[in-house]
Amino acid sequence: MLGEGIIKGMVETARNFFGSYHDPARFVTIQYPEQRVPLKENNRNFPFLVFDGADTEKGLRCVACKICEKECPPQCIYIVPERDAHGKLQKHPKIFDIDISTCMSCQICVEVCPFDAIKMDQEFELSTGDRFSNLLLHKQDLAKPNDYYHKIHPTEATLVDAQLAKERQLAAQRKAGAGAAPASPPKHAPEKLVPVG
Amino acid sequence: MTFMAMITCLPHMLLLANPDEWLVRLKQTIVHWLPGPWQFVISSLITIAVLIAVFGALFAVATLIERKGLGRIQNRPGPNRVGPYGVLQPMADAVKMLIKEDVVPRAADRVVHFLAPLVLVAPVMLAFSVIPYGQGLVPINLDAGVLFFFAVGAASELAVFMAGWSGHNKYSLLGAMRAIAQMISYEIPLVLSTVTVVMMVGSLSLVQIVAAQGGYWWGVIPRWNIFAPWGLAGFVVFMIAAIAESNRSPFDLPEGESEIIAGFLTEYSGFKYAVFFMGEYFGMFAISGLAITLFLGGWHAPLPYLGWVPSFLWFFGKLFIFLFVFIWLRGTLPRLRMDQLMNYAWKCLLPLALINIGVAVIWRFTAGWPGPLRWLVCALLIVLAFVWLEKTWMKSRELKPRTYHYAS
Amino acid sequence: MQAAFFIIAALIVIGGLAAMLVRKLVHAVLWLMVTLASLAALFLLLGAQFVGFAQILVYVGAVAILIVFAILLTRNSEWAKAGRLASPSWLVGVGIAGLATGCLIASILASSIPPGVPVPPAASVADIGQKLMTEYVLPLEAVGLLLTAAMIGAVIIAMPEDKRG
């Protein structure tokens, strides 16, 4: 019949209207700043730097090898390595900046890092009144403890810790049997971490 | 009557009289204190001020209800940040509209661009002046009230054209052309469905049309026009045409943002846009008020023992129901296509309205028949017409290879 | 009353002159609308409600839109062409204008209403309705039939043309 579809549609919208007052399934809005949905473990947006221990500077895993800087497609990473008094390169970044206004959250820096020093963060409330200086994150903004990494990505962090422990153990063995034949492969192949979601 | 006497008898007048009358009497009392030549002017100004205040407030409430209602229909809460439950949202909207920059395109025709919103709102405000809001509450009781209503309504087409043309923007112009074509097409079924009521009542005066709908059949069913078969069909045709006249969804393709940005409103911003917005809502109220007056018994109570409620409350209650239905329809139906819109007006509504006039004639000349028989015969005629229209309408909708008459 | 008449009359004259003199066609139409709407106001001032409303409904509502559509759909109205305001055939125009003015003046002079005496409005809407339904019912029906036929004809023209192939 002509007009049947209109009546059906109106019944449906009426059910939506009244259902939104008593049926939680029809009223799914989360009042964001007051209510929050817990983030999924695999949620990620911008990179941060992991440090071990308590000291932000000393504990940084980053050795300023600049691989991530070279690989970064939008070139949002800027690294200057530390140098000692003689001008010798140190395994430590002096400057480590990420311009999150340019970063596209591709995670390539995380994939290429041989030292598991850079990981993806879950922080998303980054809006600011100054889009030039406040969106350029410096080393002290980026450095976050390993505990934080465990908090946001527990599965992945556990895998990474196990991997690092194994490597450290291998390195210690190598140091112990220094005169003997090189037992283990010296190079570190970053294993693909398969995060469990 | 001295001043003191006025003061002493004022509560007496207010309490003892009919609740509708005391509004009128209050105005008369205020006006009475004034010197003679000013009485007419002040009386008119009070009426105008009340009209603007009431409908302005109704506009604010309507925008809020619309946003909340649409939200609920779409399973979301709607605006809820400004004030408790978001009730102050209209104020926030108004402030935002007022402080926005008023952008006029460089190529625009500035004078026409400025005049268009005024030309839209002024006639709609005029249309408010003939609607009877309650017993004795009609700003102007014109003999040709219906004609006046449609006459001033016709000016809004000119306003739409001015708005669309002055921007020198192709989307504005396209939107204006669409809107005018739509308004002209739907004005015909609108007027034709009104004609039935005018024929039955025998008057163009809205006050008399309401008065003719007083009383109850068997003491229960009100004698509203909608309860007659021709009234029901006329009401349906009238409402469909009214939605199209007020450019509301699903007939809002003059403003179809997915195709032509915002139609004739494209080049408007800030306060002028707000005025246009207000004009559209006012148009919706005015045409709903006319529908209530013509078919739903105006300010008459739906049941006999509810007569003690002030009559203007019935009018505005019915107006709110109309508002809800408008919002409900907007939340439900997708926008029509231009050719569907035109086909619908000319091939469906127009024949139905013409047949309805014929049925009204039959109703008129079968006054001696027993009530139910008369009702059934007339209803059957309308249903038959509807079925016939549906057949032809559905047939023309069958899919077939498209033919291009002018491009081949 | 007199002041109102002079304001409305001035609007009619200004609108009419401007409609002739402005360059942009759309502006000319809008000025014409000012004239027609003021004319309606004049009718209302004289107490002729029905004629006044019909004037607005027909001229402002329908004729204006018809002219607007005709202008917009037929020619480029955006830019006024530079050139002389008067057309070469102005002699004909002057002739027609003179003829029309002469007719109007002649009929005003020949009218039987005594000058200077205001005539109270006699015809209410109900009276007009009565007259149309009794005395002038045949012309009314003829016009109504014609218009309905025109409307149905328009619908039939717009119907899908299946037979054409």
Q: Quickly list DSSP for C132-151.
A: HHHTTHHHHHHHHHHHHHHH
User: How many other β-carbons are positioned within 10 Å of the β-carbon of residue A179?
Assistant: 5
Q: Which residue has the tokens 């964001």?
A: A32
User: Residue A46, CB half-sphere, CA atoms under 13 Å: how many?
Assistant: 21
Bigger pLDDT: B242 or A184? B242
Does residue A48 carry a pLDDT above 50? yes
Does residue A124 carry a pLDDT above 90? no
d(CA B350, CA B323): 25
Q: Which residue has the tokens 């919103």?
A: B117
| Backbone phi, psi, residue B64, to 5° | -65, -50
Run means of pLDDT, 10 residues per run, chain B, 408 residues: 52 54 74 75 83 90 90 88 86 89 84 88 88 82 85 85 84 84 87 89 86 79 83 90 86 76 82 88 91 87 77 88 91 83 82 87 81 80 82 67 64
User: How many other β-carbons are positioned within 10 Å of the β-carbon of residue C51?
Assistant: 17
pLDDT digits (tens, 9 = 90+) for C7-27: 999 999 999 998 888 877 888
d(CA B240, CA B326): 10
Contact by Cβ (8 Å): B231, B197 = yes
Band (A27; pLDDT cuts 50, 70, 90): confident
Q: First and final CA of chain C: distance in angstroms?
A: 65
Q: Which residue has the tokens 């153990």?
A: A169
Helix (H, G, I), strand (E, B) or coil at B206: helix
Band (C165; pLDDT cuts 50, 70, 90): very low
Band (C123; pLDDT cuts 50, 70, 90): low
State the smallest CA–CA distance between residue B292 and chain C in angstroms: 22
Cα-based distances in Å from A88 to A7, A58, A92, A139, C64: 80, 18, 11, 21, 87
Q: What is the pLDDT of residue A78?
A: 93
Q: Where exactly are the structural domains of chain A? A: 47-176
Bigger pLDDT: A175 or C99? C99
Neighbours of chain C (3+ CB pairs under 8 A): B
**Helix, strand, coil abundance in chain C, percent, nearest 5:** 75, 0, 25
Q: What is the pLDDT of residue B9?
A: 53
Residue B208: in which H helix or E strand, if any?
A: helix B206-211
| Set of chain B residues whose Cβ sits within 8 Å of the Cβ of A6 | 332-333
Q: In this complex, is the C-beta atom of B74 within 8 Å of any C-beta atom belonging to chain A? A: yes
Q: What is the pLDDT of residue B201?
A: 86
Contact by Cβ (8 Å): A169, A163 = no
What percent of chain A clears pLDDT 90, i.e. is strictly above it? 25
Contact yes or no for A26 and B69 at CB 8 A:
no
- At CA B187, angle to CA B248 and CA B324, rounded to 5? 30
State the smallest CA–CA distance between residue B332 and chain A in angstroms: 6
Contact yes or no for A2 and B75 at CB 8 A:
no
Q: What is the pLDDT of residue C103?
A: 93
Q: What is the pLDDT of residue A178?
A: 67
Interface test with C, best of B41, B111, B148, B203 (most C CBs within 10 A): B148
Q: Which is it for strands A77-83 and A89-99: parallel, antiparallel or unpaired?
A: antiparallel
Spatial neighbors of B33 by CB under 8 A, at least 6 apart, are B3, B6
Q: Which residue has the tokens 């000013």?
A: B38
- Classified by CATH at the fold level, domain C1-78 comes out as Four Helix Bundle (Hemerythrin (Met), subunit A) (1.20.120)
Cα A185 vs. chain centroid, distance in angstroms?
29
Token pair recorded at residue C66? 């018809």
Q: What is the pLDDT of residue B75?
A: 87
Q: What is the pLDDT of residue C164?
A: 47
Closest CA relative to residue B179, chosen from B288, B97, B253? B253
Interface test with B, best of A17, A30, A31, A35 (most B CBs within 10 A): A17
Closest CA relative to residue C39, chosen from C5, C62, C82, C3? C5
Q: How many residues does chain C have?
A: 165
Look up the CATH number of domain A47-176: 3.30.70.3270
Q: ipTM surpassing 0.85, yes or no?
A: no
Of B153, B157, B347, the CB nearest to C155: B347
d(CA C68, CA C73): 8
Spatial neighbors of A132 by CB under 8 A, at least 6 apart, are none
Band (C152; pLDDT cuts 50, 70, 90): confident
Bigger pLDDT: C165 or B136? B136
